[in-house]
Structure 1
Amino acid sequence: MCVTLITGAASGLGWALAQACQARGDQLLLTDLNQDLLEQRAASLTATKVISLAGDICDEQVQLALVDACLAEFGRLDVLINNAGITHRSLTQRTAPEVFRKVMAVNYHAPLELTLKALPLLKASRGQIVAVGSMASWMPVLGRAGYCAAKSALAQALEVLRGEVRRDGVRLLLVYPSFLATPIEQNALGADGQAASHARTTLGTLHSAEWMADKVILAQAQGLERLFPDRRTHLASLLWRLAPSFFHRQMCRRFAAELH
Protein backbone atom coordinates (compact mmCIF):
# COMPACT_ATOMS: atom_id res chain seq x y z
CA MET A 1 0.00 0.00 0.00
CA CYS A 2 1.31 3.44 -1.00
CA VAL A 3 2.02 6.10 1.66
CA THR A 4 1.53 9.66 0.37
CA LEU A 5 2.37 12.98 2.04
CA ILE A 6 0.42 15.99 0.72
CA THR A 7 1.11 19.62 1.66
CA GLY A 8 -1.61 22.27 1.53
CA ALA A 9 -4.09 19.42 1.86
CA ALA A 10 -7.06 21.12 3.58
CA SER A 11 -8.53 22.87 0.55
CA GLY A 12 -8.33 23.40 -3.18
CA LEU A 13 -6.13 21.09 -5.21
CA GLY A 14 -4.51 19.59 -2.10
CA TRP A 15 -7.87 18.38 -0.79
CA ALA A 16 -8.88 17.08 -4.22
CA LEU A 17 -5.59 15.18 -4.39
CA ALA A 18 -6.11 13.75 -0.91
CA GLN A 19 -9.50 12.35 -1.94
CA ALA A 20 -8.16 11.00 -5.22
CA CYS A 21 -5.15 9.36 -3.55
CA GLN A 22 -7.30 7.68 -0.92
CA ALA A 23 -9.69 6.48 -3.61
CA ARG A 24 -6.82 4.51 -5.16
CA GLY A 25 -5.97 3.04 -1.75
CA ASP A 26 -3.17 5.29 -0.47
CA GLN A 27 -2.49 5.83 3.22
CA LEU A 28 -2.11 9.55 3.84
CA LEU A 29 -0.22 12.10 5.88
CA LEU A 30 -1.87 15.48 5.34
CA THR A 31 -0.51 18.87 6.35
CA ASP A 32 -1.82 22.42 6.12
CA LEU A 33 -1.59 25.73 7.94
CA ASN A 34 -5.33 25.65 8.77
CA GLN A 35 -5.45 23.17 11.63
CA ASP A 36 -9.23 23.11 12.19
CA LEU A 37 -10.09 22.54 8.55
CA LEU A 38 -7.27 20.00 8.16
CA GLU A 39 -8.54 17.92 11.07
CA GLN A 40 -12.08 18.00 9.67
CA ARG A 41 -10.84 16.88 6.27
CA ALA A 42 -8.71 14.09 7.69
CA ALA A 43 -11.58 12.81 9.85
CA SER A 44 -13.83 12.57 6.78
CA LEU A 45 -11.45 10.17 5.03
CA THR A 46 -12.10 6.74 6.50
CA ALA A 47 -11.31 4.21 3.79
CA THR A 48 -7.59 3.98 4.67
CA LYS A 49 -5.29 5.20 7.43
CA VAL A 50 -5.07 9.00 7.44
CA ILE A 51 -3.19 11.22 9.89
CA SER A 52 -2.82 14.99 9.91
CA LEU A 53 -0.14 17.34 11.17
CA ALA A 54 -0.86 21.06 10.92
CA GLY A 55 1.83 23.70 10.74
CA ASP A 56 3.71 26.25 8.67
CA ILE A 57 5.46 24.34 5.90
CA CYS A 58 8.20 27.00 5.92
CA ASP A 59 9.13 26.00 9.48
CA GLU A 60 12.05 23.57 9.52
CA GLN A 61 10.71 21.88 12.65
CA VAL A 62 7.39 21.21 10.89
CA GLN A 63 9.26 19.73 7.93
CA LEU A 64 11.25 17.43 10.23
CA ALA A 65 8.09 16.46 12.12
CA LEU A 66 6.40 15.43 8.88
CA VAL A 67 9.27 13.17 7.87
CA ASP A 68 9.43 11.71 11.38
CA ALA A 69 5.66 11.08 11.33
CA CYS A 70 5.95 9.16 8.06
CA LEU A 71 8.50 6.86 9.62
CA ALA A 72 6.74 6.53 12.98
CA GLU A 73 3.18 6.04 11.68
CA PHE A 74 3.77 4.18 8.41
CA GLY A 75 7.39 3.07 8.39
CA ARG A 76 7.87 4.48 4.90
CA LEU A 77 7.08 7.23 2.39
CA ASP A 78 6.30 6.47 -1.24
CA VAL A 79 5.00 9.75 -2.66
CA LEU A 80 5.61 13.36 -1.63
CA ILE A 81 3.19 15.83 -3.21
CA ASN A 82 4.43 19.41 -2.83
CA ASN A 83 1.17 21.28 -3.34
CA ALA A 84 1.10 24.13 -0.78
CA GLY A 85 1.44 27.53 -2.39
CA ILE A 86 0.69 31.24 -2.20
CA THR A 87 0.47 33.93 -4.86
CA HIS A 88 0.20 37.71 -5.15
CA ARG A 89 -1.39 40.22 -7.51
CA SER A 90 0.70 43.36 -7.51
CA LEU A 91 2.99 45.20 -9.88
CA THR A 92 6.66 44.45 -9.32
CA GLN A 93 7.70 48.05 -8.73
CA ARG A 94 4.99 48.55 -6.09
CA THR A 95 5.38 45.30 -4.17
CA ALA A 96 6.91 45.32 -0.70
CA PRO A 97 10.06 43.17 -0.35
CA GLU A 98 8.46 41.07 2.39
CA VAL A 99 5.76 39.95 -0.07
CA PHE A 100 8.40 38.65 -2.46
CA ARG A 101 10.17 36.91 0.43
CA LYS A 102 6.99 35.22 1.63
CA VAL A 103 5.97 34.04 -1.83
CA MET A 104 9.47 32.68 -2.43
CA ALA A 105 9.57 30.97 0.97
CA VAL A 106 6.26 29.12 0.51
CA ASN A 107 6.62 28.24 -3.17
CA TYR A 108 10.35 27.52 -3.44
CA HIS A 109 12.31 27.20 -0.21
CA ALA A 110 9.75 25.14 1.71
CA PRO A 111 9.02 22.47 -0.93
CA LEU A 112 12.68 22.09 -1.84
CA GLU A 113 13.73 21.80 1.81
CA LEU A 114 10.96 19.30 2.61
CA THR A 115 11.89 17.28 -0.47
CA LEU A 116 15.52 17.05 0.63
CA LYS A 117 14.53 16.02 4.16
CA ALA A 118 12.21 13.32 2.78
CA LEU A 119 14.72 12.07 0.23
CA PRO A 120 16.21 9.24 2.35
CA LEU A 121 12.72 7.73 2.78
CA LEU A 122 11.92 8.20 -0.90
CA LYS A 123 15.18 6.55 -1.90
CA ALA A 124 14.42 3.62 0.39
CA SER A 125 11.02 3.09 -1.26
CA ARG A 126 12.18 4.09 -4.76
CA GLY A 127 9.35 6.56 -4.54
CA GLN A 128 8.13 9.66 -6.31
CA ILE A 129 8.18 13.43 -5.86
CA VAL A 130 5.25 15.37 -7.30
CA ALA A 131 5.51 19.16 -7.48
CA VAL A 132 2.52 21.32 -8.35
CA GLY A 133 3.98 24.14 -10.37
CA SER A 134 2.25 26.55 -12.71
CA MET A 135 2.29 27.94 -16.21
CA ALA A 136 3.83 30.91 -14.40
CA SER A 137 7.03 28.90 -13.93
CA TRP A 138 7.88 29.32 -17.63
CA MET A 139 5.69 32.23 -18.85
CA PRO A 140 5.77 35.81 -17.55
CA VAL A 141 2.50 37.15 -16.09
CA LEU A 142 1.98 40.84 -15.31
CA GLY A 143 1.54 41.43 -11.60
CA ARG A 144 2.99 38.03 -10.60
CA ALA A 145 6.76 38.59 -10.60
CA GLY A 146 7.32 36.91 -7.23
CA TYR A 147 5.09 33.95 -8.04
CA CYS A 148 6.66 33.45 -11.48
CA ALA A 149 10.15 33.61 -9.97
CA ALA A 150 9.36 31.15 -7.17
CA LYS A 151 7.66 28.57 -9.39
CA SER A 152 10.45 28.87 -11.95
CA ALA A 153 13.10 28.39 -9.27
CA LEU A 154 11.37 25.28 -7.92
CA ALA A 155 10.98 23.74 -11.39
CA GLN A 156 14.63 24.32 -12.23
CA ALA A 157 15.86 22.97 -8.91
CA LEU A 158 13.76 19.81 -9.25
CA GLU A 159 14.81 19.26 -12.86
CA VAL A 160 18.41 19.25 -11.62
CA LEU A 161 17.48 16.96 -8.74
CA ARG A 162 15.78 14.60 -11.20
CA GLY A 163 19.11 13.88 -12.85
CA GLU A 164 20.84 13.42 -9.51
CA VAL A 165 18.41 10.90 -8.00
CA ARG A 166 17.40 8.95 -11.10
CA ARG A 167 19.99 6.29 -10.32
CA ASP A 168 18.42 5.91 -6.85
CA GLY A 169 15.08 5.01 -8.44
CA VAL A 170 13.34 8.22 -7.32
CA ARG A 171 10.95 9.62 -9.93
CA LEU A 172 9.75 13.20 -10.34
CA LEU A 173 6.50 14.50 -11.80
CA LEU A 174 6.33 18.26 -12.39
CA VAL A 175 2.78 19.53 -12.91
CA TYR A 176 2.07 22.70 -14.88
CA PRO A 177 -1.62 23.67 -14.49
CA SER A 178 -3.08 26.84 -15.91
CA PHE A 179 -5.89 28.60 -14.07
CA LEU A 180 -7.80 26.59 -11.46
CA ALA A 181 -10.82 27.46 -9.33
CA THR A 182 -9.01 27.09 -6.00
CA PRO A 183 -8.52 29.26 -2.87
CA ILE A 184 -4.93 30.16 -3.78
CA GLU A 185 -6.20 33.06 -5.88
CA GLN A 186 -8.85 34.04 -3.34
CA ASN A 187 -6.06 34.33 -0.76
CA ALA A 188 -3.64 36.21 -3.02
CA LEU A 189 -1.53 38.92 -1.44
CA GLY A 190 -1.53 42.52 -2.53
CA ALA A 191 1.46 44.84 -2.79
CA ASP A 192 1.43 45.54 0.97
CA GLY A 193 1.03 41.93 2.07
CA GLN A 194 -2.70 42.28 2.78
CA ALA A 195 -5.38 40.59 0.67
CA ALA A 196 -5.29 41.62 -2.99
CA SER A 197 -8.02 44.14 -3.73
CA HIS A 198 -8.73 43.32 -7.38
CA ALA A 199 -9.97 40.20 -9.12
CA ARG A 200 -7.55 38.08 -11.08
CA THR A 201 -7.26 38.00 -14.84
CA THR A 202 -7.45 34.50 -16.30
CA LEU A 203 -6.44 32.87 -19.55
CA GLY A 204 -8.28 29.93 -21.05
CA THR A 205 -10.70 27.62 -19.28
CA LEU A 206 -11.00 27.81 -15.49
CA HIS A 207 -10.79 24.16 -14.42
CA SER A 208 -11.85 22.61 -11.12
CA ALA A 209 -9.46 21.19 -8.54
CA GLU A 210 -11.03 17.76 -9.03
CA TRP A 211 -10.35 17.89 -12.77
CA MET A 212 -6.70 18.68 -12.09
CA ALA A 213 -6.34 16.01 -9.40
CA ASP A 214 -7.62 13.35 -11.81
CA LYS A 215 -5.01 14.47 -14.34
CA VAL A 216 -2.24 14.15 -11.75
CA ILE A 217 -3.32 10.65 -10.70
CA LEU A 218 -3.41 9.55 -14.35
CA ALA A 219 0.02 11.08 -15.03
CA GLN A 220 1.45 9.14 -12.08
CA ALA A 221 -0.02 5.91 -13.40
CA GLN A 222 1.45 6.62 -16.85
CA GLY A 223 4.90 7.41 -15.45
CA LEU A 224 4.99 10.92 -16.92
CA GLU A 225 7.79 13.27 -15.91
CA ARG A 226 5.98 16.51 -16.81
CA LEU A 227 2.27 17.20 -17.01
CA PHE A 228 0.73 19.89 -19.19
CA PRO A 229 -2.90 19.10 -18.39
CA ASP A 230 -4.61 20.42 -21.52
CA ARG A 231 -3.84 21.17 -25.14
CA ARG A 232 -3.84 24.95 -24.61
CA THR A 233 -1.23 24.70 -21.85
CA HIS A 234 1.05 22.50 -23.93
CA LEU A 235 0.78 24.70 -27.02
CA ALA A 236 1.39 27.84 -24.97
CA SER A 237 4.58 26.35 -23.54
CA LEU A 238 5.82 25.59 -27.06
CA LEU A 239 4.92 29.08 -28.29
CA TRP A 240 6.82 30.70 -25.42
CA ARG A 241 9.94 28.71 -26.36
CA LEU A 242 9.67 29.25 -30.11
CA ALA A 243 8.43 32.86 -30.29
CA PRO A 244 8.96 34.53 -26.91
CA SER A 245 8.59 38.11 -28.15
CA PHE A 246 5.26 37.36 -29.81
CA PHE A 247 4.08 35.47 -26.75
CA HIS A 248 5.14 38.35 -24.47
CA ARG A 249 3.18 40.90 -26.48
CA GLN A 250 0.07 38.74 -26.39
CA MET A 251 0.44 38.16 -22.66
CA CYS A 252 0.76 41.90 -22.00
CA ARG A 253 -2.42 42.55 -23.96
CA ARG A 254 -4.33 39.82 -22.16
CA PHE A 255 -3.22 40.92 -18.70
CA ALA A 256 -3.25 44.69 -19.38
CA ALA A 257 -5.82 45.20 -16.61
CA GLU A 258 -3.09 44.45 -14.07
CA LEU A 259 -1.40 47.74 -15.02
CA HIS A 260 -4.38 49.72 -13.77
Structure 2
Amino acid sequence: MHSVLITGAASGLGWELARVYYAKGCNLLLTDINAEGLAKRVNELGTKRVLGLAGDITDPALHQQLLHTCAERFGRLDVLINNAGITHRSPTMQTDPAVLRKVMAVDYQAPVELTLRALPLLRQSRGQIIAIGSMAGWMPVLGRAGYCAAKSALSQFFEVLRAETTRDGIRMLLVYPSFLDTPIEQNALGGDGQQARHGRSTIGTIRGADWMAAQILSAQIQGRERLFPDRGSWLASLLWRIAPGFYYRKMSARFAAEMG
Protein backbone atom coordinates (compact mmCIF):
# COMPACT_ATOMS: atom_id res chain seq x y z
CA MET A 1 0.00 0.00 0.00
CA HIS A 2 1.45 3.36 -1.04
CA SER A 3 2.17 6.03 1.55
CA VAL A 4 1.73 9.73 0.81
CA LEU A 5 2.99 12.74 2.77
CA ILE A 6 1.04 15.96 2.12
CA THR A 7 1.99 19.36 3.53
CA GLY A 8 -0.57 22.11 4.09
CA ALA A 9 -3.26 19.44 4.36
CA ALA A 10 -5.82 21.03 6.69
CA SER A 11 -7.59 23.04 4.01
CA GLY A 12 -7.74 24.02 0.36
CA LEU A 13 -5.80 22.01 -2.19
CA GLY A 14 -3.93 20.01 0.45
CA TRP A 15 -7.18 18.71 1.95
CA GLU A 16 -8.63 17.87 -1.46
CA LEU A 17 -5.45 15.98 -2.30
CA ALA A 18 -5.79 14.07 0.96
CA ARG A 19 -9.32 13.10 0.01
CA VAL A 20 -8.44 11.82 -3.46
CA TYR A 21 -5.39 9.85 -2.31
CA TYR A 22 -7.35 8.41 0.60
CA ALA A 23 -10.01 7.26 -1.87
CA LYS A 24 -7.24 5.49 -3.82
CA GLY A 25 -6.43 3.44 -0.72
CA CYS A 26 -3.18 5.16 0.25
CA ASN A 27 -1.73 5.60 3.71
CA LEU A 28 -1.62 9.32 4.51
CA LEU A 29 0.63 11.42 6.72
CA LEU A 30 -0.81 14.93 6.82
CA THR A 31 0.79 18.06 8.21
CA ASP A 32 -0.29 21.67 8.66
CA ILE A 33 0.49 24.61 10.93
CA ASN A 34 -3.20 24.71 11.90
CA ALA A 35 -3.25 21.99 14.56
CA GLU A 36 -6.97 22.23 15.29
CA GLY A 37 -7.95 22.16 11.63
CA LEU A 38 -5.62 19.26 10.95
CA ALA A 39 -7.05 17.22 13.82
CA LYS A 40 -10.55 17.73 12.44
CA ARG A 41 -9.46 16.52 9.00
CA VAL A 42 -7.77 13.43 10.40
CA ASN A 43 -10.88 12.63 12.43
CA GLU A 44 -13.04 13.19 9.36
CA LEU A 45 -11.20 10.45 7.49
CA GLY A 46 -11.00 8.50 10.72
CA THR A 47 -8.98 5.36 9.99
CA LYS A 48 -5.60 3.96 10.94
CA ARG A 49 -4.43 4.75 7.42
CA VAL A 50 -4.37 8.48 8.25
CA LEU A 51 -1.96 10.23 10.60
CA GLY A 52 -1.64 13.93 11.37
CA LEU A 53 1.38 15.83 12.66
CA ALA A 54 0.95 19.58 13.11
CA GLY A 55 3.81 22.06 12.97
CA ASP A 56 5.56 24.87 11.13
CA ILE A 57 6.73 23.56 7.77
CA THR A 58 9.78 25.85 7.91
CA ASP A 59 11.06 24.02 11.02
CA PRO A 60 13.68 21.35 10.18
CA ALA A 61 12.71 19.49 13.36
CA LEU A 62 9.23 18.96 11.89
CA HIS A 63 10.77 17.53 8.72
CA GLN A 64 12.67 14.98 10.79
CA GLN A 65 9.54 14.09 12.76
CA LEU A 66 7.47 13.65 9.61
CA LEU A 67 9.92 11.32 7.92
CA HIS A 68 10.60 9.33 11.08
CA THR A 69 6.85 8.89 11.60
CA CYS A 70 6.32 7.86 8.00
CA ALA A 71 9.09 5.25 8.13
CA GLU A 72 8.06 3.93 11.53
CA ARG A 73 4.30 3.73 10.97
CA PHE A 74 4.08 2.95 7.26
CA GLY A 75 7.54 1.55 6.51
CA ARG A 76 7.93 3.59 3.35
CA LEU A 77 7.30 6.89 1.56
CA ASP A 78 6.03 6.68 -2.00
CA VAL A 79 4.78 10.19 -2.75
CA LEU A 80 5.86 13.50 -1.21
CA ILE A 81 3.48 16.36 -2.04
CA ASN A 82 4.97 19.78 -1.31
CA ASN A 83 1.75 21.77 -1.18
CA ALA A 84 1.98 24.15 1.82
CA GLY A 85 2.27 27.77 0.81
CA ILE A 86 1.48 31.39 1.55
CA THR A 87 1.18 34.48 -0.62
CA HIS A 88 0.98 38.24 -0.28
CA ARG A 89 -0.92 41.04 -2.00
CA SER A 90 1.11 44.23 -1.76
CA PRO A 91 3.05 46.59 -4.02
CA THR A 92 6.73 45.71 -3.77
CA MET A 93 7.86 49.11 -2.55
CA GLN A 94 5.25 48.97 0.23
CA THR A 95 6.17 45.49 1.42
CA ASP A 96 8.21 44.87 4.56
CA PRO A 97 11.24 42.70 3.69
CA ALA A 98 10.14 40.38 6.51
CA VAL A 99 7.08 39.49 4.42
CA LEU A 100 9.28 38.58 1.48
CA ARG A 101 11.48 36.43 3.71
CA LYS A 102 8.46 34.62 5.15
CA VAL A 103 7.00 33.86 1.72
CA MET A 104 10.35 32.58 0.50
CA ALA A 105 10.82 30.45 3.62
CA VAL A 106 7.44 28.73 3.29
CA ASP A 107 7.12 28.49 -0.49
CA TYR A 108 10.72 27.69 -1.42
CA GLN A 109 13.10 26.88 1.41
CA ALA A 110 10.75 24.55 3.30
CA PRO A 111 9.88 22.24 0.39
CA VAL A 112 13.52 22.16 -0.69
CA GLU A 113 14.76 21.13 2.74
CA LEU A 114 11.98 18.61 3.34
CA THR A 115 12.57 17.02 -0.05
CA LEU A 116 16.32 16.71 0.43
CA ARG A 117 15.76 15.03 3.78
CA ALA A 118 13.17 12.69 2.22
CA LEU A 119 15.39 11.48 -0.63
CA PRO A 120 16.68 8.31 1.12
CA LEU A 121 13.10 7.07 1.66
CA LEU A 122 12.10 8.01 -1.87
CA ARG A 123 15.11 6.18 -3.30
CA GLN A 124 14.09 3.03 -1.44
CA SER A 125 10.56 3.13 -2.87
CA ARG A 126 11.55 4.61 -6.24
CA GLY A 127 8.89 7.11 -5.35
CA GLN A 128 7.63 10.42 -6.61
CA ILE A 129 7.85 14.09 -5.68
CA ILE A 130 4.96 16.42 -6.49
CA ALA A 131 5.71 20.13 -6.12
CA ILE A 132 2.89 22.66 -6.30
CA GLY A 133 4.26 25.65 -8.11
CA SER A 134 2.26 28.43 -9.75
CA MET A 135 1.89 30.19 -13.05
CA ALA A 136 3.16 33.20 -11.04
CA GLY A 137 6.53 31.49 -11.28
CA TRP A 138 6.35 31.71 -15.06
CA MET A 139 5.17 35.28 -15.49
CA PRO A 140 5.14 38.45 -13.35
CA VAL A 141 1.96 39.21 -11.39
CA LEU A 142 1.75 42.71 -9.95
CA GLY A 143 1.60 42.91 -6.17
CA ARG A 144 3.10 39.41 -5.82
CA ALA A 145 6.84 39.99 -6.18
CA GLY A 146 7.77 37.72 -3.28
CA TYR A 147 5.37 34.99 -4.33
CA CYS A 148 6.52 35.09 -7.97
CA ALA A 149 10.15 34.93 -6.86
CA ALA A 150 9.54 31.99 -4.52
CA LYS A 151 7.58 29.95 -7.06
CA SER A 152 10.12 30.67 -9.79
CA ALA A 153 12.91 29.48 -7.49
CA LEU A 154 10.89 26.37 -6.61
CA SER A 155 10.45 25.51 -10.27
CA GLN A 156 14.12 25.90 -11.10
CA PHE A 157 15.26 23.88 -8.10
CA PHE A 158 13.00 20.93 -8.83
CA GLU A 159 13.77 20.93 -12.55
CA VAL A 160 17.46 20.55 -11.69
CA LEU A 161 16.71 17.93 -9.03
CA ARG A 162 14.59 16.02 -11.54
CA ALA A 163 17.58 15.50 -13.82
CA GLU A 164 19.89 14.61 -10.96
CA THR A 165 17.60 11.99 -9.39
CA THR A 166 16.56 10.20 -12.58
CA ARG A 167 19.14 7.47 -12.03
CA ASP A 168 17.63 6.84 -8.58
CA GLY A 169 14.25 6.07 -10.15
CA ILE A 170 12.59 9.04 -8.46
CA ARG A 171 9.88 10.63 -10.59
CA MET A 172 8.77 14.24 -10.36
CA LEU A 173 5.60 16.12 -11.21
CA LEU A 174 5.65 19.91 -11.19
CA VAL A 175 2.22 21.51 -11.06
CA TYR A 176 1.53 25.07 -12.20
CA PRO A 177 -1.98 26.15 -11.17
CA SER A 178 -3.37 29.59 -11.79
CA PHE A 179 -5.99 31.16 -9.50
CA LEU A 180 -7.68 28.63 -7.21
CA ASP A 181 -10.52 29.09 -4.75
CA THR A 182 -8.50 28.21 -1.62
CA PRO A 183 -7.63 29.80 1.75
CA ILE A 184 -4.15 30.75 0.52
CA GLU A 185 -5.69 33.85 -1.07
CA GLN A 186 -8.09 34.52 1.80
CA ASN A 187 -5.12 34.47 4.18
CA ALA A 188 -2.77 36.48 1.95
CA LEU A 189 -0.39 38.82 3.73
CA GLY A 190 -0.38 42.56 3.22
CA GLY A 191 2.78 44.61 3.00
CA ASP A 192 2.86 45.00 6.80
CA GLY A 193 2.65 41.27 7.46
CA GLN A 194 -0.98 41.38 8.57
CA GLN A 195 -3.84 39.92 6.53
CA ALA A 196 -4.30 41.77 3.24
CA ARG A 197 -7.12 44.29 3.45
CA HIS A 198 -8.14 44.35 -0.20
CA GLY A 199 -9.52 41.66 -2.47
CA ARG A 200 -7.46 39.97 -5.13
CA SER A 201 -7.41 40.65 -8.83
CA THR A 202 -7.34 37.61 -11.09
CA ILE A 203 -6.62 36.44 -14.60
CA GLY A 204 -8.58 33.64 -16.23
CA THR A 205 -10.90 31.16 -14.57
CA ILE A 206 -10.93 30.59 -10.81
CA ARG A 207 -10.87 26.82 -10.34
CA GLY A 208 -12.00 24.75 -7.38
CA ALA A 209 -9.45 22.90 -5.25
CA ASP A 210 -11.32 19.61 -5.79
CA TRP A 211 -11.00 19.99 -9.57
CA MET A 212 -7.29 20.72 -9.21
CA ALA A 213 -6.69 17.72 -6.93
CA ALA A 214 -8.32 15.38 -9.45
CA GLN A 215 -6.12 16.80 -12.22
CA ILE A 216 -3.00 16.23 -10.13
CA LEU A 217 -3.88 12.62 -9.30
CA SER A 218 -4.58 11.91 -12.96
CA ALA A 219 -1.29 13.49 -14.05
CA GLN A 220 0.62 11.49 -11.44
CA ILE A 221 -0.95 8.21 -12.54
CA GLN A 222 -0.14 9.04 -16.17
CA GLY A 223 3.50 9.69 -15.26
CA ARG A 224 3.44 13.26 -16.51
CA GLU A 225 6.34 15.55 -15.64
CA ARG A 226 4.54 18.91 -15.71
CA LEU A 227 0.93 19.97 -15.36
CA PHE A 228 -0.41 23.28 -16.69
CA PRO A 229 -4.11 22.92 -15.90
CA ASP A 230 -5.35 26.34 -16.97
CA ARG A 231 -5.00 27.08 -20.69
CA GLY A 232 -5.73 30.79 -20.28
CA SER A 233 -2.85 31.31 -17.86
CA TRP A 234 -0.53 29.26 -20.05
CA LEU A 235 -1.36 31.51 -22.99
CA ALA A 236 -0.78 34.57 -20.81
CA SER A 237 2.69 33.26 -19.95
CA LEU A 238 3.43 32.93 -23.66
CA LEU A 239 2.23 36.51 -24.19
CA TRP A 240 4.69 37.64 -21.52
CA ARG A 241 7.53 36.04 -23.46
CA ILE A 242 6.43 37.16 -26.92
CA ALA A 243 5.16 40.70 -26.19
CA PRO A 244 6.22 41.74 -22.68
CA GLY A 245 5.27 45.39 -23.17
CA PHE A 246 1.71 44.50 -24.15
CA TYR A 247 1.53 42.02 -21.28
CA TYR A 248 2.57 44.70 -18.77
CA ARG A 249 -0.07 47.13 -20.05
CA LYS A 250 -2.81 44.53 -19.71
CA MET A 251 -1.55 43.39 -16.28
CA SER A 252 -1.34 46.97 -15.01
CA ALA A 253 -4.91 47.68 -16.06
CA ARG A 254 -6.24 44.46 -14.52
CA PHE A 255 -4.42 44.93 -11.20
CA ALA A 256 -4.78 48.71 -10.89
CA ALA A 257 -7.02 48.42 -7.82
CA GLU A 258 -4.29 46.60 -5.90
CA MET A 259 -1.59 49.12 -6.76
CA GLY A 260 -3.40 52.02 -5.02
TM-score normalised per structure 1: 0.97
**Corresponding residue number in structure 2 for 1:49:** 49
CA displacement at 1:84 relative to structure 2: 0.3
In the alignment, the residues of structure 2 paired with residue 39 and residue 254 of structure 1 have an alpha-carbon distance, to the nearest angstrom, of 39
Once the two structures are superposed, residues 6-35 of structure 1 have per-residue CA deviations (whole angstroms, 9 ceiling, x without a partner) of 000000000000001111111100000011
- Map 1:1-260 to 2 at 5 A: 1-46=1-46, 49-260=49-260
Give the C-alpha shift of residue 246 in structure 1. 2.6
| CA contact 1:6–1:82 (8 Å) conserved in 2 | yes
| Residues 122-131 or 227-236, more deviating | 227-236
Bigger drift between 151-160 and 238-247 goes to 238-247
Q: Give yes or no for contact 1:22–1:47 (8 Å, CA) kept in 2.
A: no
Offset at residue 81 of structure 1 (A)? 0.3
Bigger Cα displacement from structure 2, 63-72 vs 250-259: 250-259
| CA drift at 1:45 | 1.1
Amino acid aligned to 1:100: L
CA distance in 1, matches of 2:124, 2:178: 33
Structure 1 residue 36: deviation in Å?
1.0
- Measured in 2, the distance between the counterparts of 1:233 and 1:209 equals 17
Which amino acid is 1:74 matched to? F
Equivalent residues of 2:7, 2:81 under 8 A apart: yes
1:241 deviation in Å? Answer: 2.9
What SS class does the counterpart of residue 89 from structure 1 fall into? coil
TM-score (norm 2): 0.97
1:4·1:29 contact (CA, 8 Å) conserved in 2? Answer: yes
Q: Is the 8 A contact 1:239 1:247 kept in 2?
A: yes
Give the C-alpha shift of residue 56 in structure 1.
Answer: 0.2
* Secondary structure of the structure 2 residue equivalent to 1:158: helix
Secondary structure of the equivalent of 2:207? coil
Distance in 2 between residues matched to 1:241 and 1:84, nearest whole Å? 28
Q: How many aligned positions are there?
A: 260
Q: Kindly, what percent of the aligned residue pairs are identical?
A: 65
User: 2:203 touches 2:233 (CA, 8 Å); kept in 1?
Assistant: no
